Amino acid sequence: MQVLRADEMGMCFGVRDALTTIGRVADPTAVTIHGELVHNPEVLAMLDRRGFHRADEARRGVPGTPVVLVTAHGVSDRERERLTAAGKQLLDTTCPLVQKAHAAAKELAAEGRRVVVIGRADHVEVRGLVEDLAAPIVVASEAEVLPWPERRLGVVSQTTTPVALARRIVARIRAENPHADVREIDTICGPTKARIEALAALLPRIDALVVVGGHGSNNTRQLVQRGEAAGLRTLHVEHAGELQPAWFVGCRVVGLTAGTSTLPRTIDEVASWLGRLESAPVRGSA
Rank residues 14 and 128 by Cβ distance to ligand SF4 and give the closer one.
14
Rank residues 6 and 243 by Cβ distance to ligand SF4 and give the closer one.
6
Least Å distance, CB 16 to ligand SF4, is 8
- Please pick, among 8, 79, 125, 238, the residue that the annotation labels catalytic: 125
Q: Evaluate whether 151 touches 180 at the Cβ level (below 8 Å).
A: yes
Least Å distance, CB 148 to ligand SF4, is 27
Concatenated DSSP letters for 234-265? EEEESSGGG--GGGGTT-SEEEEEE-TT--HH
Report which residue's Cβ sits closest to ligand SF4.
Answer: 14
Q: Evaluate whether 232 touches 199 at the Cβ level (below 8 Å).
A: no
Residue 163's Cβ-count burial label (10 Å; 0-12, 13-18, 19+) is middle
Q: Residue 80: which of 104, 102, 108 has the closest Cα?
A: 102
Chain residues in the site for ligand SF4 (CB under 6 A): 12-15, 72, 95, 97-98, 159-160, 189, 191-192, 260
Rank residues 15 and 145 by Cβ distance to ligand SF4 and give the closer one.
15
Least Å distance, CB 57 to ligand SF4, is 16
Least Å distance, CB 218 to ligand SF4, is 9
Give 215's strand partners: none
125 catalytic? Reply is yes
Rank residues 117 and 243 by Cβ distance to ligand SF4 and give the closer one.
117
The Cα 261–Cα 245 span in angstroms is: 25
Residues classed as catalytic:
125
